[in-house]
């Protein structure tokens, strides 16, 4: 009974933490565009929070590099379970156009487990919202 | 008084990008700020050794997603100069139109983030709502919202059809009307004035000596704008740089606000003069020699140094971006300010970290 209420609360108002992990800003501004009136994810109860300890969904954009992989791991560890990780953009998936650069480790999944992959360069706001909704399905289970 | 050290970033709600500032405080007043960079460093300049000079256009576009078209334009101008290519007039005017569209969307994005930095959430939402119209124009004319990829060496890949021209003009009219509706809020609102007037003042002399660029410099009373060089088709349209004299966060806000309206005017001028003709000339051969190419980004002057030796790959590509030039201003402004003013001052230079670190 208690778990049921908890799951419902979690999926009806997922709080989102966004971390730019070495992207070109393209995906970041699309993530922010999701919050603004035209796409307005707040109608689904999503709020962008700054504190990882408040978050349920972790949105990561961009490639991982040797300097920020520690930061990424750190943020991931601070998010309480259960959590969903959404990797956004071609760089977040595999490294994209930067994959051959010397400071690039590769996709986000090399450092932390990823639940949903959202392709695109940059991914459109519709696709990002879709990705988060897919992630919530996973949170229900 | 004992000293406190507060880390600001790399993950901070007010910054969309990771940058780290180590702030030394006495009570609530900042005495020293030390930046740490490198969280977004990818090593794009080195990719010039793997990708050929045509493919590099797509790499330089992804130096920064916000002003991607302007990076590509700067790079293409440099290579065109090396190869001695004359760009067709229609392509030059199209470059003006798309680069000014990018400037409007970048400035609106900044106005929104700036409002958000002092907690004015509704102004943030309004600015971003207007910005979506500009992105719609990008999407309709090129097929993508942010990274539009229209520049090629020798001209443009996409054209703006006559039906689109009329639609763009009517959309711009809406955008202009809505931006003007925000004018009283941005210029006279108590909240905005209280948080921005007199914060982070830089005199013209200081700004010049620190080597600042773009709106940060122009807000201190120095009229320096790379568009005055007349690249693309800026020599054929009327252009006057926007200058303010106070040098504080409020003045920087005013410069960017007025530039947004000016860009709409520039697009109208460019559309009115848009000549007929072909879009691109074929780029034959390979570049050789070295060249410096400069254009004005929304954040200031971007500088490309290109060295080629007649091979498929460039020998060296060096990019110096506006935020790199503006960071010294940040370090000069922060000491003596309150901790609560840090987000406002940091955002007032419009930092673009992915540009700076590449």
Does A28 sit within 8 Å of B40, measured CB to CB?
no
**Amino acid B4: pLDDT:** 82
Question: How far is A69 from A108, CA to CA, in rounded Å?
Answer: 9
Q: In terms of Cα–Cα distance, which of A123, A98, A96, A92 is closest to B357?
A: A98
Q: Is A61 an 8 Å CB contact of chain B?
A: no
Walking along chain B (358 residues) 10 residues at a time, the average pLDDT comes out as: 77 72 83 80 82 86 85 89 86 88 89 85 87 88 86 85 87 89 85 83 85 87 83 83 85 88 89 85 83 88 87 86 85 83 84 80
Q: What percent of chain A has pLDDT over 70?
A: 100
The pLDDT of residue B13 is 67
Task: Copy the structure tokens of residue B324.
Answer: 């790199």
Q: pLDDT for B19-78, tens place per residue? A: 788 888 888 888 888 887 777 888 888 888 888 888 888 888 888 888 888 889 888 988
Tokens found for residue B213: 């660029």
Look at residue A73 and give its three-state secondary structure. Answer: helix
Chain A residues whose beta carbon lies within 8 Å of the beta carbon of residue B352: 25
Nearest neighbour of B354 by CB, restricted to A23, A50, A71: A23
In the sheet with B20-26, reading across from the earlier edge strand, the strands are B3-8, B20-26, B29-36
CA–CA gap between residue B11 and residue B70 (Å, rounded): 28
- Tell me, what's the ipTM? 0.82
- Domains of chain A, by residue range, sit at 13-140
**Are B43 and A101 an interchain contact pair (Cβ–Cβ within 8 Å)?**
yes
Give the per-residue pLDDT at B162.
85
| Candidate from B39, B46, B135 with C-beta closest to A101 | B46
**Chains A, B: CB pairs < 8 Å:** 117
Write the residue in A68, A98, A103 that is nearest to B18 by C-beta. A68
Q: How far is CA A42 from CA A15, A23, A25, B196, B290, in A?
A: 10, 24, 22, 29, 51
Q: Which domains can be identified in chain B, with CATH numbers?
A: 3-357 (1.10.645.10)
Residue whose token pair is 């840090």 = B342
Among candidates B41, B182, B185, B38, which has minimal Cα distance to A24?
Answer: B41
Q: What's the confidence (pLDDT) of residue B1?
A: 64
Specify the pLDDT at position A15: 85
Tell me whether B13 touches chain A (CB under 8 Å). yes
Query: CB-CB: which of B39, B63, B125 is closest to A22?
Result: B39
Write out the CATH class of domain A13-140.
alpha beta
Closest CA relative to residue B73, chosen from B241, B257, B297: B297
């Amino acid at each position: 009974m208690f778990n049921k209420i908890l799951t419902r609360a979690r999926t009806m108002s997922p709080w989102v933490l966004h971390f730019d992990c070495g992207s070109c800003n393209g995906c970041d501004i699309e993530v922010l565009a999701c919050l603004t009136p035209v796409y307005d994810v707040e109608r689904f109860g999503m709020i962008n929070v700054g504190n990882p300890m408040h978050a349920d969904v972790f949105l990561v954009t961009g490639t991982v590099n040797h300097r920020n992989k520690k930061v990424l791991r750190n943020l991931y560890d601070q998010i309480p379970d259960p959590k969903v990780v959404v990797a956004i953009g071609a760089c977040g998936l595999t490294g994209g156009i930067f994959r051959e650069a010397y400071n690039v480790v590769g996709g986000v999944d090399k450092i932390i487990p990823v639940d949903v992959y959202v392709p695109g360069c940059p991914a459109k706001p519709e696709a990002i919202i879709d990705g988060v909704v897919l992630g919530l399905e996973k949170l229900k289970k | 008084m004992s000293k406190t050290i507060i880390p600001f970033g790399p993950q901070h709600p007010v910054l969309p990008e990771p940058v780290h500032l180590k702030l030394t405080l006495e009570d609530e007043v900042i005495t020293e700020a030390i930046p740490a960079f490198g969280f977004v460093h990818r090593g794009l300049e080195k990719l010039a050794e793997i990708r050929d000079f045509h493919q590099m256009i797509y790499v330089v576009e992804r130096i920064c997603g916000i002003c991607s078209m302007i990076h590509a334009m700067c790079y293409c101008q440099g290579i065109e100069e090396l190869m001695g290519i004359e760009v067709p007039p229609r392509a030059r005017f199209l470059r003006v139109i798309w680069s000014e569209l990018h400037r409007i969307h970048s400035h609106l994005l900044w106005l929104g983030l700036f409002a958000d930095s002092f907690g004015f959430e509704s102004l943030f939402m309004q600015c971003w709502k207007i910005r979506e119209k500009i992105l719609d124009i990008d999407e309709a004319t090129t097929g993508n919202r942010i990274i539009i990829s229209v520049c090629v060496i020798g001209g443009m890949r996409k054209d703006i059809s006559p039906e689109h021209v009329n639609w763009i003009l009517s959309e711009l009219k809406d955008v202009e009307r809505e931006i003007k509706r925000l004018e009283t809020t941005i210029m006279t609102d108590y909240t905005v004035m209280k948080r921005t007037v007199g914060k982070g003042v830089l005199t013209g002399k200081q700004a010049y000596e620190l080597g600042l660029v773009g709106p940060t410099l122009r807000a201190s009373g120095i009229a320096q704008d790379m568009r005055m060089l007349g690249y693309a088709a800026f020599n054929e349209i009327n252009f006057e740089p926007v200058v303010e004299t106070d040098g504080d966060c409020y003045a920087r806000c005013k410069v960017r606000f007025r530039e947004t309206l000016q860009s709409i005017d520039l697009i109208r001028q460019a559309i009115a003069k848009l000549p007929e003709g072909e879009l691109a000339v074929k780029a034959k051969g390979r570049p050789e020699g070295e060249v410096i190419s400069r254009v004005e980004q929304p954040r200031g002057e971007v500088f490309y140094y290109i060295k080629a030796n007649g091979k498929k790959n460039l020998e060296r590509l060096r990019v110096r971006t506006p935020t790199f030039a503006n960071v010294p201003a940040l370090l000069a402004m922060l000491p003596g300010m309150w901790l609560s003013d840090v987000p406002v001052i940091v955002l007032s230079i419009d930092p673009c970290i992915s540009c700076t670190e590449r």
